[in-house]
Every structure is written in structure tokens, then in C-alpha cells.
């Protein structure tokens, strides 16, 4: 995407952003590009939004950005999916770590516990 | 099932009854076998010393988990005193190829996940992939992710435990999420369907 200090309606340097769009769409895309955060900033802000509520102006800018960027939209959905995956981890711990304490470790542990008075 | 009451506590029985579960619980959080084993041992010793105080108001298992949880926090507090938790260089360069002039390089941008993540949750193989992706993260970045998303501590608790600033925590979480998302996409959600810029995903 382009930086904010570039003039309005200048073509975004990422050529694929404008592929297949008509003249009006190209102008609209360029305008939104110039007035919303870059994708690199958007992904950082999306992660931050999972920790703290972002200012309303930032949230509006993100919504506008999503109008032109399917990749950031997907990224947001996938971050929340990742959170859901992580929250399921505790239930699936035996699938993630099938390891158990070895018999030897268990025996040593029992011996040590025998020597510990309550 | 072991006895839920403390009336006839036999610590040796704890090893068979809860040992493996406590071990996995610790392993998930610290990701080192030796450390996890030590934590289980410390937990059981602490439980023996404290078993007189255990009134059986909670189950024996949740009481032991509670002790282990505190031991794990102590472990991270101690670790944070020994190593630097603010590995802010991570991924700065590794992910730069994904962007062209700060926008996604559309050949490398996020793909549609097919089948969706819900279907993955019930697949054993998926969790192996998840583990391997988590292990690919730099250790401290993975620790932060685990404390936030698996242990579900809030920002203030993590910053206090690890002695890091809120901004550092956010940066590390951002990088952990970015790398994990990428790794899961490449190694699990393989049915990549790259869509053009005008198509809804």
C-alpha cells in the first residue's frame, strides 16, 4: 500500500490491488489506500485489538480498509480462529503431548514422597 | 478414580492417579520435559506439606492443579529474571517478503482456510501440527503466546510475571500470532485458494 503522505489518487505501488477494476473503483481503492493504515500496520492493529479496545477512529479506518483488502479481512478472521484453537488446547492436551511420566520417574517420585512426612 | 477426600491421603497414589495429567499440564505450558517433571515433583512435595490444610472443599485433582499452576508461574518469574523476554527482532525480516510497499504481496497473503478451523479441532493430526508450529517459535515468544492464549492470563498478569512492558507484550503476541497463523496455513490448511482482489473470501 502507499504511505499517507503521498497524494490522493496516486496508484498504489502494489499493482495487483488494481487489477481488474474499472476507473471509478481504481479511484476509490486509491482513496481508501491513502486514508487507511497500511496492511503491515493493519495486521499489527488487529492483534492489538485482541488485547485492548482500539480508538473509534482506528476501528472505522480498519473497516474501510477491509473494503479494499480481502487479505486483511481473512487475517482478522484467522486471528480469531487461532484464539479459538488455542482455547481448545487444554481439552486436547493428550493429543498434543501424548507423553507420560516414565515408569522410572514415577518410581523415583514415589520413593521421594515416601521420605516426605505430611 | 482416586479418593476425593483428604481423610486418607496417600501421596504415592497421587503419582499413579494424577502424575501423567499433571505432567502434561506442565508440559503444555513449559514445553520442556525435564522442567515439567521437576514441576510435578515440586507440586507433589508441596501438596504433601500442605495436605493438612486441604479440607476437601475442592477435588483433590483441582487442588493439585492449583498448586502446579502456582509452581508454573514461579518458574516463569524466575526464568524472566534469567533471560531477556523482549525478543523484538524476531520476524522483522522473515515476514518482510509478505509485503510489497507495506501492503500484502498477494501471492503470499493469507489464503482461505479449507476446511475451516472448526473441522481441524477434532483431528489428532492437527494438534501434532499445532505443537510443531508452536515449537518453531522462538522460546520466549512461544511462552508469551502460551500464557496469553492457552493459560488465558490477562495483559497485566503476564507483564507482572515476566517483568515486561505492555507494548513489548503486544509486539511479541503479534509476532507469535503472525508466525503461528502462517505455519498452520502452510502445514495444515493446505487447500489454498488464492482469490483475486475483488472476490469475497
B155-166 pLDDT per residue, tens: 999 999 999 999
Answer whether A13 sits within 8 Å of B100, measured CB to CB: yes
What percent of chain A is predicted at pLDDT more than 70? 82
Query: What pLDDT is recorded for position B85?
Result: 72
**Domains in chain A: boundaries:** 36-114
Q: What architecture (CATH level 2) is domain B96-187?
A: Orthogonal Bundle (1.10)
Q: Calculate mean pLDDT across residues A55-77.
A: 92
B93: pLDDT confidence band, cut at 50, 70 and 90? Answer: low
CB contacts of B187 in chain A (<8 Å) are none
Q: Is-contact A62 A33, C-beta < 8 A?
A: no
> Residue B115 CA to chain centroid, in angstroms?
24
**Domains in chain B: boundaries:** 11-82, 96-187
ipTM score assigned to the predicted complex? 0.83
B114: pLDDT confidence band, cut at 50, 70 and 90? Answer: confident
B28: pLDDT confidence band, cut at 50, 70 and 90? Answer: very high
Query: What pLDDT is recorded for position B147?
Result: 96
CATH number given to B11-82: 1.10.1740
Interface of B with A in 161-200 (CB under 8 A): 169-170, 173-174, 177-178, 180-181, 184-185, 195-200
Q: At what angle are helices B33-50 and B11-30 packed, to 10 degrees?
A: 140
φ and ψ of B157, to 5 deg: -65, -40
Which set of grid coordinates corresponds to residue B101?
Answer: 510497499
B132: pLDDT confidence band, cut at 50, 70 and 90? Answer: very high
pTM of the shown model: 0.83
Determine the Cα angle at B44 with ends B42 and B46, to 5°: 65
Amino acid at each position: 500500500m502507499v504511505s499517507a503522505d503521498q497524494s490522493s489518487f496516486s496508484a498504489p505501488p502494489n499493482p495487483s490491488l488494481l487489477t481488474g477494476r474499472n476507473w471509478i473503483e481504481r479511484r476509490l481503492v486509491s482513496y481508501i489506500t491513502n486514508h487507511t493504515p497500511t496492511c503491515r500496520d493493519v495486521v499489527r492493529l488487529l492483534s492489538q485489538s485482541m488485547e485492548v479496545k482500539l480508538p473509534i477512529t482506528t476501528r472505522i479506518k480498519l473497516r474501510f480498509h477491509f473494503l479494499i483488502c480481502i487479505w486483511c479481512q481473512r487475517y482478522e478472521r484467522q486471528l480469531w480462529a487461532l484464539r479459538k484453537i488455542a482455547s481448545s488446547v487444554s481439552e486436547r492436551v493428550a493429543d498434543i503431548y501424548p507423553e507420560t511420566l516414565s515408569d522410572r520417574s514415577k518410581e523415583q517420585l514415589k520413593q521421594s514422597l515416601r521420605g516426605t512426612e505430611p | 478414580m482416586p479418593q476425593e477426600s483428604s481423610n486418607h491421603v496417600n501421596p504415592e497414589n497421587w503419582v499413579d492417579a494424577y502424575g501423567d495429567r499433571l505432567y502434561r499440564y506442565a508440559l503444555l505450558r513449559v514445553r520442556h520435559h525435564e522442567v515439567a517433571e521437576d514441576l510435578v515433583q515440586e507440586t507433589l512435595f508441596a501438596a504433601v506439606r500442605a495436605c493438612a490444610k486441604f479440607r476437601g472443599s475442592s477435588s483433590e485433582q483441582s487442588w493439585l492443579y492449583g498448586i502446579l499452576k502456582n509452581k508454573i508461574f514461579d518458574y516463569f518469574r524466575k526464568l524472566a529474571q534469567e533471560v531477556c523476554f523482549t525478543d523484538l527482532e524476531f520476524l522483522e525480516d522473515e515476514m518482510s517478503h509478505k509485503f510489497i510497499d507495506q501492503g500484502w504481496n498477494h501471492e503470499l497473503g493469507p489464503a482461505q482456510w479449507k476446511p475451516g478451523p472448526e473441522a481441524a479441532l477434532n483431528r489428532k493430526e492437527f494438534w501434532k501440527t499445532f505443537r510443531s508450529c508452536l515449537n518453531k517459535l522462538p522460546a520466549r515468544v512461544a511462552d508469551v503466546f502460551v500464557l496469553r492464549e492457552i493459560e488465558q492470563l490477562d495483559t497485566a498478569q503476564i507483564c507482572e510475571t515476566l517483568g515486561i512492558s505492555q507494548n513489548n507484550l503486544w509486539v511479541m503476541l503479534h509476532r507469535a500470532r503472525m508466525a503461528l497463523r502462517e505455519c498452520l496455513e502452510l502445514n495444515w490448511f493446505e487447500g489454498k485458494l488464492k482469490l483475486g482482489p475483488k472476490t469475497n473470501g
